[in-house]
Structure 1
């Protein structure tokens, strides 16, 4: 069983772009810092609303608007820089894989499917680029947001926070299991798409032979069978997603209900004020989006891992004819080649020329 993720093989392609990624991560840290600030300001706004203090409410609303503005500017920097780095990684990978394929021997191309190679160089590498982008511009920011917001929740009321984390291990196990199943289904689906692409390339490039032997019905049936395999593989992956999101969503809903019950209990014990509980609820609200994104991203990462495996399968293929390090250099050829009574046209040959 494979213990190490296939994504480690992408490090040599990510490393040259570390400056751009570092700049983007700096923006990410700035974005993350403002999340607990927003939750704290929400609690203060609730307090001023209860007191009817319009002046303080207007001042605090202005501060909150400024916080939103700065955060969104930083978010723009994060997203644009990460997209730049991810596209550069995909570009470098595509160039190297294409150059590697060009150096393979003819014996490889006798068995390789043109459609399969085309799919790997286009769709698979595009998916890898998308996953690299999601890791840095979505997944890592969501993880940081969870850590910072959880820290703020512990600061407000650690007993309430620990109680609401009861379902976290179960949710983690469920997400992990669904992710592993998604990897299996994704590999199967991508292989089916690759086979379908190879079939189309084969048929369209040899369409004259197909029509010459009146094999249209045979090819239609063959395509229908391959397309059905592809449909089944894709449906299996979508069916798994359809199960996953309601299950994880139900677990999260139960956690929120438990939160309201325990929050009321803490207020009754004077361990928490109403304004603090509003701030706490705002922090919980800030967890909904990152948890949803992490769940979705984990599925995407497993689908992308199948693409990484397919790309590096090609990279691992070595030419059967290798250049020896001590090979002799051919000398310059001297002399000449003469053609006598040779024609490179069709009509003179018919006339016996």
Structure 2
């Protein structure tokens, strides 16, 4: 129930619509109940052969059904408006929260699972709201009203009717718990399938290059087969519950028919009242028969709500401090004895790192794979927080600055360029929302991207496709550099931005990056040491520690790791 009430709180901003829907439901239920005495009057009119009474009953029935129809429209429209707005708020809150969560969250959770929760689980909640509010509540009001009227007609028959309700409740509760568990498992399996689809579609080139299509199809079939049996289990629960509830209802009806007939035969009950009573029983039979199905849908929606709130209840590991403030970056970056590890039980990735970059300096980070280069630069925009020590920008601890203020003054260009579905213009403008066409063009010119853009059929309005699929690697990198240039960052991070490019693309991208680095504090990670020879400072990392630092010529004069890496790259073949 706690989960149900938590969901219901999302309807609070739309109380006016909910109240209007509740009034419509009440009118709907009263119209249903009003048919019970009307049927009694109809039987009396027929028995008395009164045309006037017959016409009156028919006229009243038409009026009641007209009012019932208007109430049906009112409750359906008003509650649908409120519930759709509620789902909009819930989905928006989920998306906003996903954007607030830290990098470590996205390393642990699968993309397909998050997409499934944002779509399938939201849809399940929508179905649950429809079943609960649009079907269950009006039916329950009708049920309660009809039972009250039945007690008014004959309390003995009414007590006999109520005797089966505890048994029905027990069965519905038992099947509901089982449905909740199976629904939760089924939705997890749906997430698994979404994750498989997302991973394999994104990695289709690898699948095809290794000729693993049959293997992947087999894996997908296995997961789909598990999903099939879980879905079948849900169906099995429903088809077992429904006839069982119907059978108990029939037993109750048989008992009521016998006892009611006995009272009429013995003269203790008016036949018209018995007919009205049977009409009331027929009226409550439909709501009772729907309870099982409705409860199953509600349990599925509650299982989905659990999965959504599981995400919403997570706190980001990196967030603004209570006293955080905006900063204006000039460009000095300092690491004071910084150590870091990704998880408590894992070893340190960085250990006792001391480093200073002056405003406008180019600092190159080199070392073997796994030395900690990318981890080090990821600490600067606070994608992660240092485990020990502190990082300062312009002598201000970065934990004291607001995340938005800190990151909005940084530009990052990585090896894996991410472009969003949309036009080239929109992707460049992502660096500074609201930029003019001229600003976008100048950024593209500076990034050596303008020439290839205008050669495209639609120019800056060219749609790049998902992740920039319609552009080459070098073209995507130059668009990314234009995006960073447009932001005009004070601190720039270049993470192996040219490692996957051919010679010509690398030349163009390197020229663009040289322009981008001018006057900015820049951290460059590069495997190709030719791209960092002119750096103001070269930092050599090994196993998370700084083992050497200096300029290119200084480091070559030492017999250290830098010299070894340099000779490995530039050694002439024998």
1:156-167 alignment to 2 at 5 Å? 156-167=153-164
Is residue 238 of structure 1 aligned with residue 263 of structure 2? Answer: no
Q: Within 2, Cα distance between the matches of 1:281 and 1:251? A: 17
- Return closer, same or farther for 1:158/1:198 CA change in 2, 3 Å cut-off: same
1:272 aligns with 269
Distance apart, 1:141 and its partner CA: 1.3
Shifted more, 212-221 versus 116-125: the winner is 212-221
Find the residue that maps to 2:101 and give its secondary structure: coil
TM-score, length-scaled by structure 1: 0.92
Q: Which of 199, 204, 219 is the matching residue for 1:202?
A: 199
Q: Within 2, Cα distance between the matches of 1:236 and 1:81? A: 35
1:309 aligns with 306
Q: Within 2, Cα distance between the matches of 1:238 and 1:332? A: 60
Contact 2:36 2:279 in 1 (8 A): yes
2:289 aligns with 292
Contact 1:343 1:349 in 2 (8 A): no
Contact 2:168 2:248 in 1 (8 A): yes
Q: Within 1, Cα distance between the matches of 2:507 and 2:199? A: 35
Q: Which of 114, 135, 139 is the matching residue for 1:142?
A: 139
Structure with bigger helix share is 1
2:66 aligns with 69
- Return closer, same or farther for 1:137/1:332 CA change in 2, 3 Å cut-off: same
Q: Within 1, Cα distance between the matches of 2:283 and 2:505? A: 84
Contact 1:25 1:136 in 2 (8 A): no
Find the residue that maps to 2:122 and give its secondary structure: helix
Is residue 100 of structure 1 aligned with residue 97 of structure 2? Answer: yes
2:166 aligns with 169
Is residue 347 of structure 1 aligned with residue 344 of structure 2? Answer: no
Q: Within 2, Cα distance between the matches of 1:323 and 1:235? A: 47
Structure with bigger strand share is 2
1:254 aligns with 251
1:118 aligns with 115
CA RMSD of aligned residues (A): 2.2
Distance apart, 1:50 and its partner CA: 2.4
1:42-81 alignment to 2 at 5 Å? 42-81=39-78
- Return closer, same or farther for 1:333/1:180 CA change in 2, 3 Å cut-off: same
Shifted more, 306-315 versus 43-52: the winner is 43-52
2:566 aligns with none
- Return closer, same or farther for 1:253/1:66 CA change in 2, 3 Å cut-off: same
- Return closer, same or farther for 1:220/1:275 CA change in 2, 3 Å cut-off: same
Q: Which of 126, 130, 142 is the matching residue for 2:127?
A: 130
Distance apart, 1:348 and its partner CA: 8.0
Q: Which of 220, 223, 227 is the matching residue for 1:223?
A: 220
Structure ID, larger Rg = 2
Shifted more, 327-336 versus 313-322: the winner is 327-336
Shifted more, 187-196 versus 130-139: the winner is 130-139
Figure out how many residues of one structure are paired with residues of the other and give that number. Answer: 347
Distance apart, 1:327 and its partner CA: 3.3
Find the residue that maps to 1:135 and give its secondary structure: helix
Q: Within 2, Cα distance between the matches of 1:152 and 1:348? A: 83
Distance apart, 1:9 and its partner CA: 2.0
2:336 aligns with none
Q: Within 2, Cα distance between the matches of 1:348 and 1:249? A: 73
Contact 1:104 1:318 in 2 (8 A): yes
Distance apart, 1:56 and its partner CA: 1.8
Q: Within 2, Cα distance between the matches of 1:343 and 1:187? A: 50
